[in-house]
Amino acid sequence: MKTLLIVYHSMTGGTRQMAEAAARGARAEPGVTVRLLQAGAAGPEDVIAADAYLFATPENLGSMAGLMKDFFDRCYYPVLDRVNARAYAALICAGSDGQGAARQIERIATGWRLRAVAPPLVVCTRAQTPEAIAAPKHIGADDAMRCEEAGALLSSGLAAGVF
């Protein structure tokens, strides 16, 4: 049995909806266990026990969310050289382009020697005012479907032995 670990952080609900959609898509594949964990609850043992990863974060001030960074800070060295060549993908909920958070995740994944199996999936909420940024988010059906497809891609690749 293969395991896909989805680690996420969400303050306004957008990234949580994206991670849950990815988990739905991944769970459609028999033979793969999907673990959906909030960043604060995930640790090195969870990363080591998984066969592939989906990292989901909001972009805050052009960077990944602080609690996602905390997850990577706590896990980075205990996991180093123990997850080489495993597959990963990233989901980013952003008010604009999401590229700052994508670059940060890519750099950490490079250090862990993970293999990106898809480009970062960025859902742009266009939240630009303080009120819009702090407001609860709703991820539309089309974007949720794209997140489901990202989860399905990782899960089906694991089940088929592609990664």
Q: What is the pLDDT of residues 78-129, one digit of tens each?
A: 999 999 999 999 999 999 999 999 999 999 999 999 999 999 999 999 999 9
- Total domains in the chain come to 1
Confidence of residue 24 (pLDDT cuts 50, 70, 90): very high
pLDDT (0 to 100) of residue 6: 98
Structural domain that includes position 145: 2-160
Q: Are 18 and 56 in contact (CB under 8 A)?
A: yes
CA 92/CA 56 separation, integer angstroms: 6
The span from the CA of 5 to the CA of 54, in Å, is 6
- What pTM does this model have? 0.97
pLDDT in tens, 105-117: 999 999 999 999 9
**Which CATH number fits the domain that encloses residue 151?**
3.40.50.360
CA–CA gap between residue 51 and residue 20 (Å, rounded) = 19
